[in-house]
Amino acid sequence: GENVEQHPSTLSVQEGDSAVIKCTYSDSASNYFPWYKQELGKGPQLIIDIRSNVGEKKDQRIAVTLNKTAKHFSLHITETQPEDSAVYFCAASIKPAGGGNKLTFGTGTQLKVEL
Amino acid sequence: GAVVSQHPSRVICKSGTSVKIECRSLDFQATTMFWYRQFPKQSLMLMATSNEGSKATYEQGVEKDKFLINHASLTLSTLTVTSAHPEDSSFYICSPTKRDAGGYTFGSGTRLTVV
């Protein structure tokens, strides 16, 4: 089955700096790669996703890049703010959920944005 | 769209008792339901998948007789933790999805504490 690795496990940045989180996956059939933000005691919230036919996607301060050949994808957050502090998870699936396909999560990154 | 309601948000029960967690898709029909378990400072681990009209499929290591999943309705699924023990204390998250879903939707989670 799919295996998703995520690094780093913790990341501390100064407010205004950029944060980068990297993930690798094992199943070359995976073609949907979402990123989630999880605040304490809450369910994961989708912040951005990318499909295999795209190499990069950006939404304001958040961007994701995908390298299918190397089987890795990364989350980039620019101009970080204290409210960005949370746990971030990458994930991968063969295709979106409609077909009942499983979503495999990475191990998570605790991001702390310091004033 | 894709509004999910999960209840209760927190529950404390005595060891040996059973607890039921409800997950409702309020504005869509969930043809597939995923249930996850998340231990403190760990990632979301898939417990089981329930597709429309089929019995739930459990992941390896998850006891189907202990974690009962009912998906009789396309808008309601329940997870019952039977004969709960302290080691079952965890954060349980549902993820109902619809047939043509482009992504995954998550509930807000249930914090179960078994004392």
Q: Do B44 and A100 touch (CB under 8 A)?
A: no
Which amino acid, one-letter code, is at B57? T
Q: What is the pLDDT of residue A50?
A: 94
Which amino acid, one-letter code, is at A5? E
Q: What is the pLDDT of residue A96?
A: 62
B77-81 — which CB contacts under 8 Å span 24+ positions?
B77/B22, B77/B23, B77/B30, B77/B33, B77/B35, B77/B50, B78/B20, B78/B21, B78/B22, B78/B23, B79/B20, B79/B21, B79/B23, B79/B35, B79/B47, B80/B18, B80/B19, B80/B20, B80/B21, B81/B18, B81/B19, B81/B20, B81/B21, B81/B112
Secondary structure class of B86 (helix, strand, coil): helix
B35 touches chain A (CB under 8 A): no
pLDDT over threshold 70, residue A110? yes
State both tokens at B83.
């004969």
Q: Do A42 and B108 touch (CB under 8 A)?
A: yes
- pLDDT: is A17 or B73 the higher one? A17
State both tokens at B13.
């029960």
- Mean pLDDT, chain A, rounded, equals 94
Over residues A25-32, the mean pLDDT reads: 94
Q: What is the pLDDT of residue B55?
A: 86
DSSP class per residue in A15-37: TTS-EEEEEEES-TT--EEEEEE
pLDDT over threshold 80, residue B101? no
DSSP class per residue in A59-93: ETTEEEEEETTTTEEEEEE-S--GGG-EEEEEEEB
Q: Do A41 and B109 touch (CB under 8 A)?
A: yes
> What size, in residues, is chain A?
115
CA–CA distance, B4 with A95 (Å, rounded to integer): 21
Q: What is the pLDDT of residue B51?
A: 83
Over residues A77-90, the mean pLDDT reads: 98
Separation in Å, CA of B62 to nearest CA in chain A: 16
pLDDT over threshold 70, residue B32? yes
Over residues B51-65, the mean pLDDT reads: 89
B63 Cβ partners below 8 Å, 6+ apart? none
* Residue percentage of chain A with pLDDT more than 90: 89
Q: Do A106 and B34 touch (CB under 8 A)?
A: no
- pLDDT: is A8 or B30 the higher one? A8
Q: What is the pLDDT of residue A98?
A: 60
Using 50, 70 and 90 to split pLDDT, how confident is the model at A40?
A: very high
Using 50, 70 and 90 to split pLDDT, how confident is the model at A3?
A: very high
Over residues B28-56, the mean pLDDT reads: 91
